[in-house]
Amino acid sequence: MIAVDTNVLVHAHRAESPFHDAARDVMRGLAEGSPAWGIPWPCVHEFYAKVTHSKIFRPPSTREQAIRQLDAWLASPTVSLLGEGVDHWERLSELVRRGRVEGPMVHDARVAAICLSHGVAELLSADRDFGRFPDLVARNPLIRR
């Protein structure tokens, strides 16, 4: 399974992003493809918070625009929403220790723990901080290799 981080979702949604075309193509490929993919719940929340925030985007996305975008992605027959499981604290505390996580970086550790619990093979993210968690393969799909 492939999972998608917040930053890819935001770039796909916001047309003014310099990475919009690449992110939109990634999301379209996942949504219209046959392999299983997922969005961690914290990334859903963070996507909504970012795109509707007037101090981040001028103008921000409206509530309805953000909800419609999420609804469109979640209509894919191959998508799953990924949340915390019964082993979440065990995984999270181990990642926090090994990754030397402090402060707000716990958000990335939370996403990593959720992905690992769901057997995610690859997290698509432009955030290099996921390198702190070597058990999770993270790849930036927004840059050409």
pLDDT of residue 75: 97
* Mean pLDDT on 103-118: 97
Q: Domains plus CATH for the chain? A: 2-139 (3.40.50.1010)
The answer, yes or no, to whether residue 136 has pLDDT greater than 70, is yes
pLDDT tens, 40-99? 999 999 999 999 999 999 999 999 999 999 999 999 999 999 999 999 999 999 999 999
Q: How far apart are CA 13 and CA 65, in angstroms?
A: 9
pLDDT of res. 145: 60
pLDDT at 144: 74
| Global model pTM greater than 0.85 | yes
Please report, as a single letter, which amino acid is at residue 86. V
pLDDT tens track for 9-29: 999 999 999 999 999 999 999
Apex 70 CA angle, 114 and 57, nearest 5: 100
Q: Which tokens belong to 66?
A: 């953000």
